[in-house]
């Protein structure tokens, strides 16, 4: 329902504004772009700012309560999926839920806190299509700063009118329904969300109920295990839709165990990294893992027990594109 952004003032608002002499002085100013000391902003009232934000956020919540696709996690894989899906099908209502305030996941840096982002060919084609510049080093390309990739793809994604990003918002659960296609099992039918600060405070208050977004398809890219990571696949286990996670392949081989004299920190077993094979696995296995839920990016490694690849991002970008292609097939079926 369209509401005017600045409806007529109530009696209380008129009284409070009229009693403010400073307001009156500033009310009739003309905006002027004078860089020599007389730069003047147009007048504004505090309540106008509040209403400008709340109206849009409320309208977005109303509209996206039923979405075509929900994307969980706005890391490199989730953002690339959103970009590919919105580019191919701009009419779809795509809602991205990101637990962090800053979308981008791990893709603000290349690796070990360094700037450059390595992308193996042929995923350089995806960078070209998004419009991210890079240097060609033969079998791979290098974006001078991972933040250049993330900010560029983010700016493209957010310009689609039908894409809404809720950041600082966590997916707390999955909505499930009996699968209408008669598989006898359940189908994911949307997500349960809450502001992340509320999610983090569930232990402090008795009940802070979430809200929901209904969608025929959820694409999850919640990353590998961490404070929020691998969220959707962990939930699949909890709901019985998947028996158990195979966990991002743990390095348990006796030959790789640290000697007993090693400092404690070196004895921690880390998931195995295999840069040669890990990315091929993720792209080729990005799929609808249970009805209604496509999983890709590093979250898939927790489900399938795949290797990590370390600081090379072609697999994440390609997994996002593959998920978008799978999503279109499912929605069009």
Measured distance CA(233)–CA(237) in Å, rounded = 7
The CA-CA-CA angle for residues 116, 120, 122, to 5°, reads 135
309 contributes a contact to ligand AHZ by CB under 6 A? yes
- Out of 69, 70, 71, 74, point to the residue binding ligand AHZ (CB under 6 A): 74
At closest approach, how far in Å is the CB of 317 from ligand AHZ?
9
Q: Is 112 in a helix, a strand, or coil? A: coil
108 contributes a contact to ligand AHZ by CB under 6 A? no
Taking each continuous run of H as one helix and of E as one strand, the counts in the chain are: 11, 12
The smaller minimum CB distance to ligand AHZ, of residues 98 and 288, is found at 98
110 contributes a contact to ligand AHZ by CB under 6 A? no
Alpha-carbon torsion, ordered 89, 95, 100, 105, to 10 deg: -20
At closest approach, how far in Å is the CB of 315 from ligand AHZ?
7
Contact 249, 271 (CB under 8 A): yes
At closest approach, how far in Å is the CB of 75 from ligand AHZ?
2
- Residue 159, CA atoms < 13 Å, CB-side half-sphere: 9
Measured distance CA(144)–CA(157) in Å, rounded = 21
Determine if residue 131 is left, alpha or beta; phi over 0 gives left, psi from -120 to 50 gives alpha, anything else beta.
Answer: left
Determine if residue 96 is left, alpha or beta; phi over 0 gives left, psi from -120 to 50 gives alpha, anything else beta.
Answer: beta
The smaller minimum CB distance to ligand AHZ, of residues 163 and 170, is found at 170
At closest approach, how far in Å is the CB of 83 from ligand AHZ?
13
Q: What is the helix (H) or strand (E) element at residue 157, kind and residue range?
A: helix 146-158
Peptide bond into 122 cis (omega under 30): yes
At closest approach, how far in Å is the CB of 129 from ligand AHZ?
18
Interface pattern 8-47 for ligand AHZ (x via CB under 6 A):
----------------------------------------
210 contributes a contact to ligand AHZ by CB under 6 A? no
Kindly state the number of chain residues that form the binding site for ligand AHZ, as judged by CB under 6 A. Answer: 30
219 contributes a contact to ligand AHZ by CB under 6 A? no
99 contributes a contact to ligand AHZ by CB under 6 A? yes
The smaller minimum CB distance to ligand AHZ, of residues 97 and 126, is found at 97
Nearest residue to ligand AHZ, scored by beta-carbon proximity: 75
The smaller minimum CB distance to ligand AHZ, of residues 13 and 137, is found at 137
Q: What is the DSSP letter of 267?
A: G
Interface pattern 156-175 for ligand AHZ (x via CB under 6 A):
--------------xx----
- Out of 82, 94, 107, 321, point to the residue binding ligand AHZ (CB under 6 A): 107
The smaller minimum CB distance to ligand AHZ, of residues 77 and 84, is found at 77
Integer angstrom CA distances of residue 198 from 2, 131, 220, 228, 238: 30, 37, 21, 14, 21
Query: Inter-axis angle of helices 146-158 and 76-88, to 10 degrees?
Result: 40
Residues 222-251 that bind ligand AHZ (CB under 6 A): 222-224, 228-229, 231
Tell me which residues touch ligand AHZ (CB under 6 A): 72-78, 97-100, 105-107, 170-171, 221-224, 228-229, 231, 297-298, 308-310, 313, 316
């Amino acid at each position: 329902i369209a509401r005017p952004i600045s409806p007529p003032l109530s009696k209380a608002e008129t009284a409070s504004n009229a009693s403010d002499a400073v307001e009156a002085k500033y009310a009739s100013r003309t905006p002027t772009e004078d860089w020599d000391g007389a730069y003047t902003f147009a007048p504004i009232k505090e309540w106008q700012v509040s209403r400008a934000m709340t109206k849009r956020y409320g309208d977005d919540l109303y509209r996206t309560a039923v979405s075509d696709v929900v994307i969980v996690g706005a890391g490199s894989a989730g953002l690339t999926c959103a970009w590919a899906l919105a580019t191919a099908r701009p009419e779809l209502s795509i809602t991205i839920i990101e637990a962090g305030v800053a979308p981008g996941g791990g893709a603000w840096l290349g690796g070990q806190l360094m700037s450059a982002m390595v992308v193996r060919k042929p995923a350089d084609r995806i960078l070209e299509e998004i419009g991210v510049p890079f240097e060609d080093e033969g079998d791979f390309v290098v974006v001078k700063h991972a933040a250049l990739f993330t900010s560029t793809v983010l700016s493209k994604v957010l310009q689609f009118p039908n894409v809404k990003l809720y950041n600082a918002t966590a997916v707390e659960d999955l909505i499930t329904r009996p699968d209408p296609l008669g598989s006898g099992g359940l189908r994911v039918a949307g997500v349960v969300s809450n502001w992340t600060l509320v999610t983090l405070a569930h232990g402090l208050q008795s009940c802070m109920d979430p809200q929901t977004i209904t969608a025929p398809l959820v694409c999850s890219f919640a990353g590998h295990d961490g404070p929020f990571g691998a969220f959707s696949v962990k939930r699949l286990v909890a709901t019985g839709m998947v028996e158990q996670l195979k966990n991002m392949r743990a390095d348990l081989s006796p030959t790789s165990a640290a000697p007993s004299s090693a400092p404690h920190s070196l004895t921690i077993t880390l998931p195995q990294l295999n840069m040669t094979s890990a990315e091929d696995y993720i792209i080729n296995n990005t799929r609808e893992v249970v009805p209604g839920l496509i999983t890709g990016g590093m979250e898939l490694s927790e489900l399938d027990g795949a290797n990590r690849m370390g600081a090379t991002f072609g697999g994440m970008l390609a997994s996002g594109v593959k998920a978008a292609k799978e999503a279109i097939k499912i929605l069009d079926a």
